[in-house]
Amino acid sequence: MSATTAGTAAAAPVKLPRPAILPRAISAFSGTTGLMVKIVLLALLNAFAFWAMYVLVTRSHWVAVVVLLLATIGIDLVYLMPRQKTLPLKFLIPGTVFLLAFQVIPIFYTIDVAFTNYSTGHVITKSDAIAQIKLTSLQPPANGRSYTMAAAKDASGNLVLILKDDTSGKTYVGTQKGLTPIPESGVKTGALGITSAAGYTLLTGPALFALDKTLQNYIVPVGTGGAGIRPQTISTAVELEPTLRYDAKRDVFIRISDGTVFRDNGRGEYAHGADALEPGWKTGVGFKNFHRVVSDPLVQQPFVRVLIWTIVFATSTVLISFFVGLFLAIALDKRGMRGQRIYRSLIVIPWAIPGFIALLVWQGLLNDQFGVVNRLLHINIPWLFDANWAKVSCILVSAWLTVPYFFLVSMGALQSIPEELTEAGRVDGGSPWALFRRVTFPLLLIAVAPLLIASFAFNFNNFNNIYLLTGGGPPQSNSSVAGSTDILISYTYKIALASGKGNDYGLACAVSIFIFIIVAVISTIAFSRTRVLEDIS
């Protein structure tokens, strides 16, 4: 019996454990299935690349076309060649593409824009600016006429305008060669304008709207000096004449009324003294934007004031949150403490809540009239509407959001310090404060100092905490852009969207480069100082 049982047990199949879900999912896409998926994905990538190349060709960006073409061919070769030769590249390419798209290209674009006048009124090319100036220079003459209009096709299928003079009631057919009278009896009008014209087919519905751009550039010449009848809407037209004449050979605009010459001033606009024509165009201006930050009082004074406040805000937030977090970590690091896990969980809650939600909640809590803080404390402090109190609010709320981070960091660093060192200090008669100051804190800084520097750099550019809490306000009487609590990054944001005539992207990019230099210098100095801590053992 025992032998039979042993034989049966020996013959029983061994039940192997099922592989994990991820390996099974990966293996499902191997072989023919994986090849088909690869071909489909590469086909989609190539379709997108060729569409992008078409857009680049229409805009004459030939260098970008060549780079994109070579990159697409390279990616196809890497993923279609045998695995042994290109396996490392298959893993490097996705990360490299995202690195270029989201880091390298934006950096180079920011640097490029910083050396231009890219701003409101200077966003198009020079040729487009010339066309826009010609268009905006058109004005009704002293005896100009207005017309009821209808777009139509003549017997040959050519586009013409059926026109009825609003003053005299006379009717005409307008072409790009001139104006020809037609019998008034052959043109019928209704409440919506001209309804029919003998010998012509009026365009309506989709056929009419398809000619929208064509009608915008359609001119019926009348008189001399470039005057012409131009459509204003789909049913009205007006006689206009240019007030400026463009001389292509001299590359100047000439005001027809008095002969004033507007020349290219090298700053992206045609100007005569302080009088400039709009719009201008995007062009390189060298170090002008950087020079404005350093020397222009309208930019320099707010920049210096915002820079000082930014340093104060970042430093205060880091130091307060670090020391509070360290204190809580030391207090909750005691063994056998009741409710220790509950306390730790409560401290981490601000870090678990999405930051933008917490900031918007604090904005409501600190409202001076309806906020819970003032009502509970029975005080009337303008937390967000007074310049000084708004700064205090920004620091306290930012510290509240950052304390959990430093609590966890300090907790981990404290637990990594060998107990033998503190025990040796106690044996030598060291007091708790002496042990903390001479043993625990220096060892703690070895792990925490780089994180303090990183936190400083983060808070130096902490846009959310400022913009969602105070919006950079309250406003300053001596600056139309920088508010009382604006830090450099929010100040840059406002320059890019609401400075001078409007958006000033060139100046904003220049300020961004200054921010990078400032943070890089401060971080480099701080890291060089923290190297001293590495000698502690």
For residue 23, the model assigns a pLDDT of: 63
With beta carbons less than 8 A apart as the criterion, state whether 329 and 417 touch.
no
- pLDDT tens across 126-147, in order? 999 999 998 889 888 888 889 9
For residue 29, the model assigns a pLDDT of: 59
Concatenate the DSSP letters of all residues of 214-243 into one string: HHHT--EE-SSTT-EEEESSSSEEEEEEES
- pLDDT tens across 45-60, in order? 999 999 999 999 998 8
Q: How confident is the model at residue 18 (pLDDT cuts 50, 70, 90)?
A: low
**Of 167, 145, 132, the residue nearest 228 (C-alpha):** 145
Q: How confident is the model at residue 533 (pLDDT cuts 50, 70, 90)?
A: low
Residue type, 78: V
Exposed e or buried b for every residue in 131-158, given b needs 16+ CB within 10 A? ebbeeebbeeeeeebbbbbbbbeeeeee
With beta carbons less than 8 A apart as the criterion, state whether 268 and 280 touch.
yes
Question: What phi and psi, each to the nearest 5 degrees, are found at residue 181?
Answer: -70, 145
Q: Which has the higher per-residue pLDDT, 70 or 415?
A: 70
Token digits for 385? 């509407």
For residue 124, the model assigns a pLDDT of: 93
With beta carbons less than 8 A apart as the criterion, state whether 410 and 501 touch.
no
Tokens 């824009």 sit on residue: 113
Rounded mean pLDDT, 268-280: 92
Residue 302 has pLDDT above 80, yes or no: yes
State how far the Cα of 205 lies from the Cα of 361, in Å rounded to an integer: 52
pTM: 0.80
- Contacts (Cβ under 8 Å, ≥6 apart) of 241: 138, 139, 140, 141, 144, 223, 225, 226, 227, 228
Q: Return the SS3 of 366.
A: coil
Residue 26 has pLDDT above 70, yes or no: no
Domains, the chain = 22-114 (no CATH), 140-242 (2.40.430), 294-535 (1.10.3720.10)
Q: How confident is the model at residue 516 (pLDDT cuts 50, 70, 90)?
A: very high
Q: Mean pLDDT across the chain, nearest whole number? A: 87
Question: Out of 7-11, 226-230, 277-281, 425-429, which region has the weakest mean confidence (pLDDT)?
Answer: 7-11
Rounded mean pLDDT, 202-208: 88
Q: Return the SS3 of 409.
A: helix
- pLDDT tens across 494-514, in order? 998 865 557 899 999 999 999
With beta carbons less than 8 A apart as the criterion, state whether 400 and 350 touch.
yes
Question: Out of 46-55, 183-192, 253-262, which region has the weakest mean confidence (pLDDT)?
Answer: 183-192
For residue 30, the model assigns a pLDDT of: 65
With beta carbons less than 8 A apart as the criterion, state whether 241 and 227 touch.
yes
- Contacts (Cβ under 8 Å, ≥6 apart) of 208: 151, 234
Q: How confident is the model at residue 390 (pLDDT cuts 50, 70, 90)?
A: very high
Residue 9 has pLDDT above 60, yes or no: no
| Most confident by average pLDDT, 5-14, 135-144, 175-184 | 175-184
For residue 27, the model assigns a pLDDT of: 61
State how far the Cα of 291 lies from the Cα of 511, in Å rounded to an integer: 11
For residue 11, the model assigns a pLDDT of: 53
- pLDDT tens across 341-376, in order? 888 888 888 888 888 899 999 999 999 888 999 999
Residues in the chain: 537
User: How many Cβ atoms from other residues are within 10 Å of residue 188's Cβ?
Assistant: 11
For residue 537, the model assigns a pLDDT of: 47
For residue 421, the model assigns a pLDDT of: 79
Residue 198 has pLDDT above 80, yes or no: yes
For residue 28, the model assigns a pLDDT of: 60
State how far the Cα of 317 lies from the Cα of 415, in Å rounded to an integer: 25
Percentage of the chain lying above the pLDDT 70 cut? 92
Percentage of the chain lying above the pLDDT 90 cut? 51
Residue 382 has pLDDT above 50, yes or no: yes
Please give the distance of CA 215 from its chain centroid, rounded to a whole number.
36
Question: Out of 156-160, 171-175, 206-210, which region has the weakest mean confidence (pLDDT)?
Answer: 206-210
For residue 407, the model assigns a pLDDT of: 93
Q: Is the bond leading into 474 cis (omega within 30 degrees of zero)?
A: yes
